Amino acid sequence: MSDAAVSIRFGAEELLLLMKVSGIGSLPGMDAETIKILGKQRLQQALIAGLNSLWARGLLTIERGDEAARIIVDTTVLALLSTCGLAQRVLHISRLPADGLPEESYVHFGEYLTAIHTLVAPGIHEMVGTVDRALVLEFVLDALHIGNQPSLSAPPIVLDEPVFNHFLELVRSKRKDEAIALLESKQVESASASLLAESFAGLIANSMVALLTLPVDDNAPSMQGFALVECLCGLWHINVQATATGGTIIHLKPISGAECRQRIEAMVPDRATSVE
């Protein structure tokens, strides 16, 4: 970890205790519904386990007074937790490898600190705090596996959702020639149809990045972002558009690693206080 950042990992029981002490109702992977499912007895057991674990790690102390004990949480832990729970801007990064488990991270842009919250394993949460924008940007690019990929040579392709889904089924069942023929029947050029079929046959991962700006006062929340398909031969940008008749159209466009970086740079504020 860089000297410009601090990193702490928490178990689920530890986070439950910290959320209760700090008054934070939910976090990614620890929403209110998940907590409710535990039930009163299991929740109490988890809170006790979390308290003991955090105390053993030196991340909280217990002051015992005449009437009741007082829990004092480490200030660094509080800063990370409050940023994750209260930030008005959150960048959600999701990557689903073709042959692996989902990878989820959240970048919370707080007033004074940026906190990166990653679900590194079931029940294990890592929080990284930094004020270094460059470090945040590199984290996002690494999480999405974006590097110097050149743009594939093909024009944009537009398909109705049923056609696109049929195309995916043919590629997954290794019927590449039929997949190409299907695209050609929908007026996709032969070279582009072959490239798209080759790309999805070599699928590495589907990814999504979205910046959510939470409402202030009566303002409505807003969201911007994009989806990517990462293939052995390059990257495709995907945009899903609803039609006036209730259908869905899929727009596919080759995109380079440099173009992805530019899009992400525009989504990462220069300063943590740059909430519009």
Tell me the pLDDT tens digit for each residue of 170-223.
Answer: 999 999 999 999 999 999 999 999 999 999 999 999 999 999 988 766 677 788
Per-residue model confidence (pLDDT) at position 275: 40
pLDDT cut 90: percent of the chain above it: 69
Tell me the pLDDT tens digit for each residue of 189-202.
Answer: 999 999 999 999 99
Question: Mean pLDDT throughout 163-170?
Answer: 96
Tell me the pLDDT tens digit for each residue of 259-268.
Answer: 999 999 999 9
Cα 62 to Cα 93: distance, rounded to the nearest angstrom: 36
Domain ranges of the chain: 5-143, 157-255
pLDDT confidence bin for 24, thresholds 50/70/90: confident
For residue 276, pLDDT beyond 60: no
pLDDT cut 70: percent of the chain above it: 93
For residue 8, what are the β-bridge partners? 127
Per-residue model confidence (pLDDT) at position 217: 67
Per-residue model confidence (pLDDT) at position 232: 94
pLDDT confidence bin for 69, thresholds 50/70/90: confident
Mean pLDDT of the chain, nearest integer: 90
Cα 191 to Cα 180: distance, rounded to the nearest angstrom: 9
Prediction pTM value: 0.87
Tokens for 38, please give them. Answer: 């535990």
CB 131 within 8 Å of CB 112: yes
